[in-house]
């Protein structure tokens, strides 16, 4: 058994400064220590996949991050690990607990199967792993192997934590509740003539400041942004549906000197609705969340979402977004993008369905997009 301090302080010297995840009793000492530390950050995620996205955004921004979760939620992390980290080559350190360990201590029945397949999941995804250290003398070597792989291969590394690996650490700090603004007027009358997605994207792209980062969700949003103009400050999330907002959160946390503009879609937002609560609590001042809502899963055949009957702006407000705007005019959107950042803002924009017939797919690969974005972020861009 080791102390949380011994591992976390050693990891800190290697540059790990952000921890994000979903709690497990095995991880309690770890999480408590990070929350109590003044020079470390802990972002509690609504689910394990969101945690992977948060950590990935932070790594792109130049800050090493640790993802922590119980193995019962490993399935929620498979999507971003395989369609975000693997294809963009973004490394994060993943610590998962081994509930239901074969031959281990008695556990609840829901952990039996996952306990049998946890290490196999790492193998199937091509993510190297080892057991979390249980002796102080093992910590340096463990972190050296993890960092060596992450630096060389640019992909995640896994640590599997067994029960009683970390000694108890009592939590001292308590979270401070945050006020939620007044509800928005409801119902809201959207104009009959709605802009197209391309028109909305051009309004964002042409009015973004030189230092702004733009993250586009998967599907037509990323493809149309690329078609408008392929720029080094743009990242097209070709997979990991629903993770654009949490990826943007991690990036905004790591780079408070840059505004992050997240271009989201209604289907993607619904898929990971808990992300709104996480952003609404963290409230990064440098994040503009533009939600383009045509009430469709358009890129997969125009199947309807339920946003014709859901007020996404009201949900964002109730989740703690300090500024929520229903944007019913492209000039209002352009003006919002031109305005310097001051607080976390959601712009809910209704758009009409439809996409041009000759819409191209990006010719630049995800690895190339990630590499040029990382290089661009290292440059000084005058505001």
Rounded-to-integer distance, Cα 213 and Cα 233, Å: 5
Rounded-to-integer distance, Cα 173 and Cα 303, Å: 46
pTM of the complete model: 0.97
pLDDT of residue 253 exceeding 70, the answer is yes
pLDDT of residue 382: 54
pLDDT digits (tens, 9 = 90+) for 32-47: 999 999 999 999 999 9
Cβ atoms of 67 and 38 closer than 8 Å: no
Tell me if 4-161 shares its fold with 197-378: yes
Cβ atoms of 366 and 372 closer than 8 Å: no
Listed residue (230, 224, 221, 277) closest to 249, CA to CA: 277
pLDDT digits (tens, 9 = 90+) for 134-172: 999 999 999 999 999 999 999 999 999 999 999 999 999
pLDDT of residue 381: 66
pLDDT band of 380, cuts 50, 70, 90: confident
Rounded-to-integer distance, Cα 50 and Cα 24, Å: 16
**CATH code for the domain defined by 4-161:** 3.40.50.970
Residue with tokens 């019962």: 72
Rounded-to-integer distance, Cα 148 and Cα 152, Å: 6
Whole-Å CA distances, 284 to 36, 217, 280, 293, 328: 20, 19, 9, 23, 24
Listed residue (74, 78, 95, 76) closest to 161, CA to CA: 95
pLDDT digits (tens, 9 = 90+) for 303-345: 999 999 999 999 999 999 999 999 999 999 999 999 999 999 9
pLDDT of residue 383: 53
What's the CATH class of domain 197-378?
Answer: alpha beta
Listed residue (341, 342, 293) closest to 316, CA to CA: 293
Domain boundaries, the chain: 4-161, 197-378
């Amino acid at each position: 058994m080791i102390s949380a301090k011994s591992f976390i302080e050693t990891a800190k010297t290697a540059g790990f400064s952000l921890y994000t995840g979903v709690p497990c009793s095995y991880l309690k000492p770890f999480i408590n220590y990070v929350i109590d530390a003044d020079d470390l950050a802990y972002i509690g995620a609504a689910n394990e996949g969101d945690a992977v996205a948060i950590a990935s955004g932070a790594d792109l921004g130049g800050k090493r991050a640790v993802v922590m979760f119980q193995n019962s939620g490993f399935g929620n992390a498979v999507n971003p690990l395989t369609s975000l980290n693997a294809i963009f080559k973004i490394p994060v350190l993943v610590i998962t607990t081994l509930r239901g360990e074969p031959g281990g201590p008695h556990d609840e029945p829901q952990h039996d199967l996952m306990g049998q397949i946890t290490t196999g999941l790492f193998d199937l995804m091509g993510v190297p792993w080892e057991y979390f250290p249980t002796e102080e003398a093992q910590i340096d070597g463990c972190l050296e192997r993890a960092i060596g792989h992450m630096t060389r291969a640019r992909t995640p590394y896994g640590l599997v934590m067994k029960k009683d690996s970390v000694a108890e650490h009592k939590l001292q700090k308590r979270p401070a509740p945050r006020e939620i603004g007044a509800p928005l007027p409801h119902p809201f009358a959207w104009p009959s003539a709605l802009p197209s997605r391309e028109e909305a994207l051009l309004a964002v792209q042409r009015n973004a400041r030189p230092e702004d980062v733009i993250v586009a969700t998967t599907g037509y949003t990323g493809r149309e942004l690329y078609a408008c103009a392929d720029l080094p400050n743009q990242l097209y999330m070709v997979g990991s549906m629903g993770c654009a907002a949490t990826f943007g959160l991690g990036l905004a946390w790591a780079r408070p000197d840059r505004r992050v503009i997240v271009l989201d879609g209604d289907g993607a937002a619904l898929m990971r609705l808990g992300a709104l609560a996480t952003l609404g609590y963290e409230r990064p001042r440098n994040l503009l969340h533009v939600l383009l809502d045509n009430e469709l899963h358009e890129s997969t055949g125009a199947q309807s979402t339920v946003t014709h009957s859901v007020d996404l702006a009201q949900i964002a407000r109730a989740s703690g977004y300090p500024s929520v705007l229903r944007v019913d005019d492209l000039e209002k959107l352009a003006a919002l993008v031109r305005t310097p950042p001051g607080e976390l803002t959601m712009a809910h924009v209704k758009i009409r369905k439809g996409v041009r017939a000759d819409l191209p797919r990006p010719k630049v690969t995800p690895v190339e997009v990630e590499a040029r974005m990382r290089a661009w972020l290292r440059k000084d861009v005058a505001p």
